């Protein structure tokens, strides 16, 4: 029992991290109509930008989060303006190839600049809190912060999508592109904002991953499959579905270690995704298939 609750806690932490990535993937798919394969490496780059910022100014590790998010949002918009915008006029599937190439380019750039060794935000071991319920649960303070900040970011995205004019324009474009364009929604500005939010949240996921474990160049790539699984499970193109999808995938991945070797955690995410694609391809929350 104790072990199950402990894994549930780890699952919620992983789920929070995956949610951050999956919201971005889902929004990009909803508005630009392509699966963004560089999203995992956006996570990596965001984490490293944060690392560069805190080591340059000697700040506490938590400064990696805002600096990484701002930096990555800027890089995402830059990549869109320099590359994706030129390709966008052709078929969306060409964007898919381009983003797959971009994934490798970003990873190579990270290796080139920061090297391929493991790095971490803070030296030393953090002592977990021990709770004496259910025979001694261990909770790391970092995990609590990750879940709380992720929740705050989700609330912020929700408020942005429902209360601001830009957020409403985004949802309109995601729901019905033609109708939205006819009503005069500024498509290019909506797309720019999509990259700002997608890139920023990807960086948050990357920084959380880095705080939870370590930073290494393929950290985001290995998280890409669970992120996609979360986005598909929630219904691709549905940011709110991504939250549910992220939690389900995160908890399932951690729980699976009870019965199968931990090396197969990504396979669990994949299996859930395949079942979903067969049974209900539109996702839990009817996505824009």
Partner 1 sequence: MELSGFSAYLVSFLTFAGIYAVLALGLNMQWGFTGQFNIGVAGFFAVGAYTTAILTTPGSPAYLGGFGMPFLVGLGGAVITSSIIGVIIGLITARLRTDYLAIATIGIAEIIRLFLKNEDWLTNGVRGIPAVQRPFADTALDSPLTYLLVVALFVVGVYFLVERAYVSPWGRVLRAIRENEPASAAAGKDIARFRLQAFVVGSAIMGLGGGLYAHFFGFVSPEAFRPLYGTFLIWVMLIAGGSGNNRGAILGAVIVWGLWSGTEMLTGMLPSEYSTQAAALRVLLIGALLQVILVTRPEGILPEKAPRLIARRRDKQ
Footprint on this chain of partner 1 (rule: CB under 8 A): 29, 34-35, 37, 83, 86-87, 90, 93-94, 96-98, 100-102, 104-105, 107-109, 111-112, 115-116, 221, 224-225, 228-229, 232, 236, 261, 263-264, 266-267, 270, 273-274, 277-278, 281, 289
Shortest distance, CB of residue 245 to partner 1, whole angstroms?
Answer: 13
Minimum CB distance to partner 1, residue 81 (Å): 13
Alpha-carbon distances of 155 from 2, 99, 257, 270, rounded to whole Å: 31, 28, 31, 28
Which of 12, 249 has the CB closer to partner 1?
249
SS3 129: strand
Please, which residue, 91 or 183, has the CB nearer to partner 1?
91
Smaller CB distance to partner 1: residue 116 or 213? 116
Rounded Cα gap, residues 101 and 38, in angstroms: 8
- Tokens representing 134 are 């259910």
Start-to-end CA distance of the chain, whole Å, equals: 39
Ramachandran class of 115: left when φ > 0, alpha when ψ lies in -120 to 50, beta otherwise: left
For residue 236, the minimal CB distance to partner 1 (Å) is 8
Q: Which is nearer to partner 1, 196 or 224 (CB)?
A: 224
135: left (phi over 0), alpha (psi -120 to 50) or beta: left
Residue found by looking up tokens 């995410």 in the block = 269
Q: Min. distance of Cβ 175 from partner 1 in angstroms?
A: 18
Q: For partner 1, which is the closer residue by CB, 42 or 228?
A: 228
């Amino acid at each position: 029992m104790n072990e199950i609750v402990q894994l549930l806690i780890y699952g919620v932490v992983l789920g929070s991290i995956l949610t951050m990535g999956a919201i971005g993937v889902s929004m990009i798919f909803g508005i630009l109509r392509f699966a963004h394969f560089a999203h995992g490496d956006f996570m990596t780059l965001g984490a490293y930008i944060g690392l560069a910022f805190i080591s340059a100014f000697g700040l506490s590790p938590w400064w990696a989060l805002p600096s990484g998010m701002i930096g990555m949002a800027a890089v995402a918009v830059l990549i869109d303006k320099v590359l994706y915008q030129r390709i966008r006029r052709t078929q969306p599937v060409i964007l898919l190839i381009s983003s797959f190439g971009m994934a490798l380019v970003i990873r190579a750039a990270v290796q080139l600049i920061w090297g391929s060794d493991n790095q971490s935000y803070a030296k030393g071991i953090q002592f977990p809190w021990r709770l004496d319920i259910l025979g001694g649960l261990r909770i790391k303070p970092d995990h609590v912060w990750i879940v709380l900040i992720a929740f705050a970011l989700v609330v912020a995205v929700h408020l942005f999508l429902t209360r601001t004019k830009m957020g409403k324009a985004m949802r309109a474009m995601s729901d019905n592109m033609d109708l939205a364009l006819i009503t005069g929604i500024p498509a290019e500005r909506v797309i720019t904002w999509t990259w700002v939010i997608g890139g920023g949240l990807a960086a948050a996921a990357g920084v959380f991953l880095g705080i939870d474990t370590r930073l290494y160049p393929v950290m985001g790539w290995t998280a890409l499959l669970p992120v996609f699984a979360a986005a598909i499970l929630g219904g691709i193109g549905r940011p709110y579905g991504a939250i549910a999808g992220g939690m389900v995938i995160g908890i399932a991945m951690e729980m699976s270690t009870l019965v199968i070797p931990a090396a197969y955690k990504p396979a669990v995410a994949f299996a859930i995704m395949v079942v979903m694609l067969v049974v209900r391809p539109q996702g839990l929350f009817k996505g824009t298939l």
